[in-house]
Amino acid sequence: MKIAVMGGDGFCGWPTSLHLSAQGHEVAIVDNLSRRWIDTELGVQSLTPMDSIQERRRVWKQVTGNDVEFYLLDLARDYERFKKWLLDWRPDAIVHFAEQRAAPYSMKSDVHKTYTVNNNISATHNVLNALVETQIDAHLVHLGTMGVYGYSTVGATIPEGYLDVKIQKEDGSMVDQSILYPTRPGSIYHMTKSLDQIMFQFYAQNDRLRITDLHQGIVWGTQTEQTRMHEQLINRFDYDGDYGTVLNRFLIQGAIGYPLTVHGTGGQTRAFIHIQDTVKCVEAAITNPPEAGERVEIFNQMTECHRVRDLAQMVADRTGVDIKYLPNPRQEADENDLIVANEKFRGLGLDLITLSDGLMNEVIEIAQKYAYRVDRSRIPAVSGWNRERASQIVHDPVKANLKAVS
């Protein structure tokens, strides 16, 4: 198949592109390289030394003989060029990772809120709009997030996308309706993914687009079968307070002897998946499209749920590093349960990696290998969700820099 990976230079996008290429698909990465610019803005970098996309492609070709094409294109801002590109390249499927993906970054300031909303909504809408306009019948696979449900997690199982409700009619009879499971996003980033859902619903209904939305858990790990093949194919690996995600951060902190930073009570329960499974799942989703005219296909792309303080304890036990409880910068419940249905997702026939599978050690080893690249001052999470939460944060070096500029 011809598969376009929008955002194919990012943390999920790069290993997905390599996996798809390794499976024999013809792959084109379309990316504006914004994630590299954000590294520059924040003055942080991937824990792992990451080559340019051009160099990565050269190495991949050298190692496997496979070409992965690369197109520098801003999906959110350059609709007309994207449309032309689409008519030229004509993909059979499009994987859409091309959104700003960090909740803390999206809450950093009003500038970051505006950027995240405009970038993510325009990127998603431009893909949909262009598919209709060009009449290219590509299956769209989008990376969503379990996080859209936020406050909706009332201790009931979150189904794969849809909730069956009964609505009472005037004559007293009940009518069954299947609705998008209600979202209650907790950050601007999560809000954009909730908006995406409504756009997908519209375009599937009005224009018969074939769309799959993967509601993914928090990704952990960094390497996949392909990124391990050469030092220069290594995946990016974020440890900073904005882009680092919870389990990976704990593993890095454990590896370098930095106290594990738990926000609030650590009673938050979250869904997790290993990056190796992410890339396999995306391929499985691509090859199982819904029919034209069907509703959006939604998978809960996650393997297991854990409470944050339990993960911290697990990493503390493994590494001997202390746990430190900090004020929570996020406006969220101190404690929440999370039960997730993923039967449909498991029905794709994948053998999923769990935390017990020993891959945690690989993460720790990588972190130790590149420990010399860590700027410890960038580990704390410094983006407060609102004024009250932000007031508890001691120092934000990025905001301090921004102030110096303005």
Chain positions contacting a second copy, by CB under 8 A:
79, 83, 110, 113-114, 117-118, 121-122, 125-126, 129-130, 132-133, 135, 151-152, 154-157, 163, 165, 167-170, 175, 177, 179-180, 182-188, 191, 194-195, 198-199, 201-202, 205-208, 331, 339, 385-387
| Alpha helices (runs of H) in 268-371, residue ranges in sequence order | 275-286, 308-319, 343-346, 359-369
> Smallest gap, in angstroms, from Cβ of residue 260 to a second copy?
26
> Smallest gap, in angstroms, from Cβ of residue 283 to a second copy?
30
Structure tokens belonging to residue 70: 């690369």
> Smallest gap, in angstroms, from Cβ of residue 68 to a second copy?
29
Catalytic site residue 303?
Answer: no
Non-local CB neighbours of 213 within 8 Å, separated by 6+ positions: 142, 144, 161, 196, 197, 200, 296, 297, 298, 299
Compute the C-alpha angle 113/119/120, nearest 5°.
Answer: 90
Q: Which is nearer to a second copy, 62 or 386 (CB)?
A: 386
Structure tokens belonging to residue 71: 């197109």
211 forms beta bridges with: 140
> Smallest gap, in angstroms, from Cβ of residue 57 to a second copy?
31
Reported as half-sphere exposure (CB side, CA atoms, 13 A), residue 290 has a value of: 21
Q: Which is nearer to a second copy, 116 or 276 (CB)?
A: 116
Pairing of strands 211-216, 218-220: unpaired
Which of 16, 108, 193, 319 is catalytic? The answer is 193
Task: With beta carbons less than 8 A apart as the criterion, state whether 270 and 190 touch.
Answer: no
CA distance 316 to 224: 25
List the one residue out of 359, 264, 239, 257 whose CA is nearest residue 304: 359
Q: Which is nearer to a second copy, 205 or 377 (CB)?
A: 205
Q: Which is nearer to a second copy, 126 or 303 (CB)?
A: 126
Q: Which is nearer to a second copy, 129 or 368 (CB)?
A: 129
Catalytic site residue 83?
Answer: no
Which three-class secondary structure state does DSSP give residue 280? helix
> Smallest gap, in angstroms, from Cβ of residue 105 to a second copy?
15
Compute the C-alpha angle 384/390/396, nearest 5°.
Answer: 80
Which of 181, 189, 258, 370 is catalytic? The answer is 189
Structure tokens belonging to residue 39: 């590294």
CA distance 105 to 97: 17
Q: How many residues does the chain have?
A: 406
136 forms beta bridges with: none
List the one residue out of 161, 127, 162, 148 whose CA is nearest residue 194: 148
> Smallest gap, in angstroms, from Cβ of residue 152 to a second copy?
7
> Smallest gap, in angstroms, from Cβ of residue 103 to a second copy?
11
Task: With beta carbons less than 8 A apart as the criterion, state whether 266 and 325 touch.
Answer: yes
Which of 124, 145, 153, 192 is catalytic? The answer is 145
Measured CA to CA in angstroms, residue 54 lies from 36, 248, 271 at distances of 13, 27, 34
Catalytic site residue 145?
Answer: yes
Q: Which is nearer to a second copy, 150 or 289 (CB)?
A: 150
Structure tokens belonging to residue 74: 């801003």
Q: Which is nearer to a second copy, 112 or 378 (CB)?
A: 112
CA distance 41 to 39: 6
Q: Which is nearer to a second copy, 130 or 364 (CB)?
A: 130
> Smallest gap, in angstroms, from Cβ of residue 231 to a second copy?
42
Task: With beta carbons less than 8 A apart as the criterion, state whether 38 and 31 touch.
Answer: no
**Residues assigned a catalytic role:** 145, 189, 193
